[in-house]
Amino acid sequence: MAKIKYYYDTETCRYEELKRTPSEVLINIAGFVILASLSGLLFSYLARTYFPSASEAALQEENQQLLLKYELLSKQMKEVDAVLAKLQERDDKIYRLLFEAEPIADEIRKGGVGGAEKYRNLLDEGLKREQLIISSFKKLDQLKRQMYVQSKSYDEIVKMQAEREKRLASMPAIRPVADNDLTMFISGYGMRMHPIYKVRKFHSGCDFAAPTGTPVYATGEGIVRMADYDGGYGKCIEIDHGFGFVTKYAHLSAYTVKVGQRVKRGQMIGRVGSTGTSVSPHLHYEVIKNGQKVNPLGYFFNDLTPEQYTKMLEIAAQDRPSLGGN
């Protein structure tokens, strides 16, 4: 039996029966349902937040651990990035500078690795913290690219070092005869009196007076390209050192090498003589760079002290006649 409700009517001063329309009943019911639903949702939220289930608690703990690992990984990537930046700086400002090579441009070292779309297909559907994962992939890709560029740069430097060592070993750098007291050095590069024609002519090398049979040495590593009689040069040897350098040894009495043979700096290649247009036993020595005969005095730096080099310059400056017609 439904309860009957009354209200006090001030006009009639009597209690009257409260009668509700169907719409008011529906409104009251709807209000109750809404209030109950909101209360249930609030209770559910509070329960999940402050009283999570065992599975939810485990998931929260896992998320927290993943976040900590991400922060650790991010820190390590920053440390690797800092070390790589130091290597790049040393590469550009020391190693490449030593070999007179251009630094690697920033756009090559730090080239783009693509946008976020490149990485989204790597992620599982509905995976949370997507931005953290994408940024990690991008940073790793960038580090890998920079490391690859740096490794290629080091390969290039190793190649340049090997080329430099080969160039230094090949370059004419010692005197072709042993002459510690410089007593054998007679005539230098430049205008000199021709010993036969008695007129001033250009002398294209240096003359070292020495007894017949005195050993003659290769001044740099190279390949013998000629060992034959060559007109006024007499018995002559030419060595191709590569890198545009050729040396010539003239007026020899004998060869101790043959064409095509590879020789090293300081290796004996022949003996002093007086063949060709020569007035006395001596070695005529020339340095040819890129097809042009140059002053050999600039290439005696490996076995001369500063004092000896100064003395040799003084002797070369004296207007002495050459010992041969070259």
Q: How confident is the model at residue 274 (pLDDT cuts 50, 70, 90)?
A: very high
Contact 203, 286 (CB under 8 A): no
DSSP output for 2-35: PPP-EEEETTTTEEEE----HHHHHHHHHHHHHH
Q: What is the pLDDT of residue 323?
A: 61
Contact 323, 282 (CB under 8 A): yes
Q: How confident is the model at residue 251 (pLDDT cuts 50, 70, 90)?
A: very high
Q: What is the pLDDT of residue 128?
A: 53
Domain locations along the chain:
6-50, 67-170, 185-317
Average pLDDT over residues 84-96: 77
284 beta partners: 207, 250
CATH for the stretch 185-317: 2.70.70.10
Residues 6 or more apart whose Cβ sits within 8 Å of residue 265:
169, 173, 174, 217, 218, 219, 220, 221, 302
Average pLDDT over residues 159-187: 83
287 beta partners: 247, 294
| Mean pLDDT taken over the chain | 79
pLDDT of 241 over the 60 cut: yes
Q: Which region among 16-30, 63-77, 115-129, 183-197 has the lowest average model confidence (pLDDT)?
A: 115-129
Contact 279, 323 (CB under 8 A): yes
pLDDT of 80 over the 70 cut: yes
pLDDT of 225 over the 90 cut: yes
Q: How confident is the model at residue 253 (pLDDT cuts 50, 70, 90)?
A: very high
